[in-house]
Every structure is written in structure tokens, then in C-alpha cells.
Chain A
Amino acid sequence: MSITAISSRSLIAVAGLALSAFASAAATAPSGNYKIDPAHSVAYFEVGHMGGISRFMGRFNDMNGDLVLDAPAKSTIKVEIKTASIDTKHEGLDKHLKSPDFFNAVQFPSLTFNSTAISLNGAGEGTVAGNLSLHGVTKPVTLKLKQIGSGKGMKGETRVGYVATGSVKRTDFGMGYGVPGAATDEVDLRINIEAIKQ
């Protein structure tokens, strides 16, 4: 057997393994009630600075919530994020973002998202529509949803992972200070969720 023949078979085997792993990741997660694992879940935001000369990112470190996984029509996602947990790796900016100029974290200590409709295709991709409550204002938003995978944790518990992405306008939520000079109106969101079956 030539070296070339071995290499070709190995490549086919590796490709086959990769495809089966992808198929497994996209498979429907086991139905049931799940709690968000705060250690492995985080919500990011990205916004244009000074009218959009650059993009800067921040995240919220404190997030919790529940998922009910069933057929998409019966599934729900509830997320609560503590606004005071905002983290831009810059103390001064964090303090300013918590002030009434932006999140007003004392008066509005949490932002929440409650789904109203979920749709996912066979590849685990789709949308989640729901109500986003931020800065004392509740508005319907639709985010792209992707199921990342599901499997067993170290203690045998069932875990699932999702990523939701989308954009909102902060002025829609009464957060209009410094638009667009300090930060652009459009804010991109990315919510990475890992949840544990209860």
C-alpha cells in the first residue's frame, strides 16, 4: 500500500467524522426544562464609537434564565441580564455606561428577553422572536438563533448550547444620550447560552 493511498483513506475518514459531528451538533436537543449555566453563558454587545469610527465591545457577566425545549412552537427562552455586571475592561467606561446616560443600572437593574416564537430548521438554525425589556421599555425583537450542540457534562447532566444574534436601536429603548457622537444608535447583540437540563 502506497503512502498516497493511506493518506487518501485517512482524509476520507476524517471528513466522515467531521460530518457526523456536525450532524450531531445540529440534532434536536433533548426536550425538557433547562436552566442557563451562568459560568458558560455571556451576553456581548458591540457598538460604533464616535459616530462609527471604530467598533468596541462589552459584555454582561451576570446572566440567568430558563429554557423549555420541546417542539419549536412549544419551546421558550427566558433570559435575565444584570445591567450592573457590564464589563468593557475599562473601569471608567463601565461607570459611565451604568449611569443614567446609558443603562441607568440603579433604576433598571436588569434587562430581560422573553421569547414568544421560536423557529428552527433541521440544521438547527432559525429565529427567536420575543420581548426585550431594557431601560424601562419593552419592545418586540427578533434574533437569529443557532443551536450549537447538545451533550453530556462531566456529571452526566444534559447540556445544550445556543447563540442568538441581532441588532437593536438604543433610541427605541429611550437610551438616546450621545447618539451618534458618543456611540451609534445601532447596537449588535450576541448572546451565548449554555443550559443544563433540570
Chain B
Amino acid sequence: MPDPSFFLPLILQSALIPFGAALAVLAAARALRAGPGAPALAVAAGFLAAYFAILHGQWSLLPKAALDWLPWIALAGLASAPAERIANAAWRLATRLALSVAVGALVVWPAFAGLGLQKAILLAGTAGVLMCAVWTYMARSADSRRTPPWLLALVAGGAALALMLDSSQSIGQLSGALASALVAGVAFNLPRVRMAFSPAAAGTAVLILGALLANAVVYAGFPPGYIALLVGALLVDPLVRTLNRLRSGSEGAGTWALTTVLTALPVGAMVFLAAKAASDAGGY
């Protein structure tokens, strides 16, 4: 049994604070009849509260380390709200891509000298395109289905465990905080939807998650194979939806459960591999 003095601060910083902050924002927004930007604000607020609880002493207003950019990236996610109101789909996509690539570039930039131009462009570009693709998919059904925040939380939570086991505890804690903020949104909408997840909230969550995973790969030796498993996990939902459409089936609780289980498989595989790698390295 681990010592409570060790894991209680982890639970407080990575679960309770972001969950409480996101829930408080959603409750206040509902009471004030706030606009559709509230779910994005709740995700950002939950994440930022946890960020400063975890890394308060290290943050620099003018970013020095790559992790210093995360609060700014969370705020940039909020800027996706006006972007999501652009009527023209092509311009909307272009704006998402520009924001995603900019986030990828911000994360990679501090390591530019060591990586070199070619590798830096490849990493920032790949991160940007992946973020844009996930954001676009999640935004399409963000306000009509319950699955997007739940699946993003599952992926962020799994990444948190893998990161804490085999990479960076601070990035792992931050990923756990994002998962908790998303779960707060899911919980707030049970048993009935009171404030639906929005495309802007999807954008905010995806940009934060993408920035965290890019940080992990570039600075903390998080294996790209783990990223591939997370991408595989995020492909489950469109695959299940496509198969469901071909069968002309409706999307009920069974589909939701199947999607959750199938998404959890590659996430679980990643956590298993991270635990094995940590154990093979001696554990400590």
C-alpha cells in the first residue's frame, strides 16, 4: 500500500482540483445562462487550476521551458470558439490547422537547436496535422453526442498513467488533470444533457492533449509507438459509427459501451507496455 502522503497530493492536484474547477465553471455558466463557450472555458479552467497546483513555482510568464507554453496554449484553445463560428467549412478547417500547427511549433521550438530544421518541421507538422484531424472529427458531433469528451478523457487518462510510469510525472499529472476536467463535463451532463460539449471545447481539449503528448515525445522520451496506439484508440469511434451506419443501426447504449471497450483496448495496451518498460528499467 503506497504511503498516502505520496499519492494524496497527486490525486488532489491531478483529479480533484481540475474536476472541481471545471464543474464550478459549468455550474456557474448554467446559472448565468452563459453562451456555448462555457464548456471550453470549463476544460481550460480545470486544466489551468491543476497546472498551477502542480507546477506553480516553475512557470515563467515569458516561456523559458516548453511546458511554460501550456497555459498560453489552453488560452489559445479558448480562441477556437470564434473559429468554430466561421460559416465557411474550408476556412474553419484552415483555421483549425493553423492553430494546431502553431501549437506543434511552440512545443518543438525550444528544442529546435538540438533537433535540427528537418526533424523539427516533421515533428511540429505531424503533431499539428494529428491535432487538426482529431479536433475536426470531434467537433462534428461534439454537441450532439456524449462520446467525444468521454473518449478524449479515456485517452488522456491512459496517457497520464503511461507518462507517469515511463516518462515524465509532471506531464503525466497534467494529462490526468485534462482527463479529470473532461470527466467533470461528462458528469455534469448526467443523467440529462444540461450543457453540451461544444466544438470549441473539443478544440481546447485536443490542443492541450496534443501539446502534452508532443512535449512527452520531444522532451521526455515518450515512445512514438505509444502515440500510434492512442491514434488507434481515437480511430475506434469513427470505425464503429461507420459500421453502425452500414448496418443502419441506431446509436444506443450498446454502441457507446462497445466503443468504450474497443477504445480502451489500445489505451490499455499502451499502459501495459509503459508498465513493462518501467519494470524492465528497474522501476523505482
Contacts and interface: CB of A to CB of B under 8 A. Distances in A.
A95 B114 CA distance: 18
Nearest to B169: A101
A51 to B, nearest CB: 9
Contacts of B5: 181
Interface string A79-119: 00000000000111101101111001011010000000000
Interface stretch (A25-33, A142-150, A169-177): A169-177
A54 to B, nearest CB: 13
A136 interface: yes
A50 to B, nearest CB: 8
B57 interface: yes
B9 A101 contact: no
Interface stretch (B81-89, B218-226, B246-254, B261-269): B218-226
Contacts, number: 77
Interface in A147-198: 171, 174-179, 181-182
B65 A100 contact: yes
A135 B67 CA distance: 13
Interface stretch (B19-27, B196-204, B276-284): B276-284
A89 B273 CA distance: 23
B170 A101 contact: yes
Interface in B1-29: 5-6, 9
Interface residues of B, number: 30
Given A99-B219, A107-B110, A174-B65, A90 B58 contact: no
Contact of A106 (B111, B169, B278, B284): B111
Contact of A96 (B64, B169, B219): B169
A181 B65 contact: no
Nearest to B110: A107
Given A90-B284, A107-B111, A109-B114, A174 B219 contact: no
B221 A95 contact: yes
A91 B220 contact: no
Main SS class of interface, B: helix
Nearest to B165: A92
A181 B6 contact: yes
A174 B59 CA distance: 8
Nearest to A89: B282
B171 interface: yes
A100 B170 contact: yes
A100 B219 contact: yes
A174 B58 CA distance: 5
Name which of A95, A98, A109, A171 has the most chain B CB atoms within 10 A of its CB. Answer: A95
A171 B220 contact: no
B278 A104 contact: no
Contacts of B60: 174
Given A91-B282, A106-B219, A107-B111, A178 B65 contact: no
B281 A177 contact: no
B66 A101 contact: no
Nearest to B278: A92
B221 A100 contact: no
A107 B168 contact: no
A100 B215 contact: yes
B284 A107 contact: no
Contacts of A107: 65-66, 110-111, 114, 219
B282 A106 contact: no
Contacts of B171: 99-100
B55 interface: yes
Interface of B: 5-6, 9, 55, 57-58, 60, 64-67, 110-111, 114, 166-171, 215, 218-221, 278, 281-284
Interface of A: 90-93, 95-96, 98-101, 104, 106-107, 109, 135-137, 171, 174-179, 181-182
Given A100-B220, A174-B58, A177-B170, 5 more contacts: A99-B168, A100-B66, A100-B171, A107-B66, A182-B169
Closest 5 CB pairs of A and B: A92-B281, A176-B57, A99-B168, A99-B220, A91-B281
11 contacts: A90-B284, A92-B282, A95-B166, A98-B220, A99-B168, A99-B171, A100-B66, A101-B220, A106-B218, A107-B111, A174-B64
